[in-house]
Amino acid sequence: MHSQPAIIFDLGKVLVDFDYSIAAKKIAARSEKAPEDLHAFLGSSPLLVDYESGRLTRQTFYEAIRNAISFRGDLAEFGGYFADIFSEMPGTIALHTELRQRGFKTFIFSNTNDLAIEHVQRDFPFFKNFDGYIYSYEVGAMKPLPEIYSAMEKMCGRNGADLIYLDDRAENIAAGAARGWRAILHESPEKSRQELVKLGVL
Ligand SMILES: [Mg+2]
C-alpha cells in the first residue's frame, strides 16, 4: 500500500447538483417540444449516453438534438442552456477542502460531457483544486464500465485499497468495490464524513 490513499470524487449529486428541467424550459421555448417532454428527453436520451461516451462530439450531439426537436438556435445558444444546470453542494466541497488541507491527493471521476465541464470549470473555483480529472467522454466509457476505472487507477498510480471513492450511484460504487477500492455510497455530507472518519482520513 501507498502511505496515503488517494480520494476519488464523483461530480454530479456529490460536489455539484444538477437539474435538467432548467435547461428543458429554455430549450423548449426555442423548439417544437413542451418543457416536460424535453426534460425526460435530455436527461435520459440515448444521445446523451453517446455524447458522454465520446461517440458524439459537441457538434454532432447538438445537431442530433436540433433535428429531433426542431431547435431554432445555434450551438452556442444551445450549449449555454444545456450546461447551465449546476449548483455547488457546499457540504461536500467543505469535506474536500479538509481532505486537501490534510495533504490527500484528490481526483474527479465523472460521467459527463465537454459542455458541462467547460461550464463547471468556469463557474466553480473549487473545481481547480484536484490532482487529476477522469471524464467518460475522454476515456470513451462511462461508469460502471471497467475501462474508466482502469483509467482512474493509471492516473492516480494507485489501485485497490489505496483508493477511497465517493459516488451517489450504487452501481458505480459496486464496480469500484469489486476492484478492491474502498467505496462510499454518498447520501449526505454528514454520512460520508462519518465513513471517512472510520477510514481514518478525517
Ligand atoms: Mg453522481
Question: pLDDT for 116-136, tens place per residue?
Answer: 999 999 999 999 999 999 999
Average model confidence (pLDDT) for the chain?
96
* Residues 18/12, Cβ–Cβ less than 8 Å: yes
Spacing, Cα 166 to ligand 1 middle (Å): 9
Spacing, Cα 200 to ligand 1 middle (Å): 24
Domain ranges of the chain: 6-17+88-198, 20-83
Residue 110: is its pLDDT beyond 90?
Answer: yes
Spacing, Cα 72 to ligand 1 middle (Å): 31
Q: What is the CA radius of gyration of the chain?
A: 18
* Residues 113/61, Cβ–Cβ less than 8 Å: yes
The residue with cell 423548439 is 31
- The topology under which CATH files domain 20-83 is DNA polymerase; domain 1 (1.10.150)
Residue 188 main-chain phi, psi, to 5 deg: -160, 155
Spacing, Cα 111 to ligand 1 middle (Å): 8
The dotted CATH code for 6-17+88-198 is: 3.40.50.1000
Spacing, Cα 59 to ligand 1 middle (Å): 25
Spacing, Cα 87 to ligand 1 middle (Å): 13
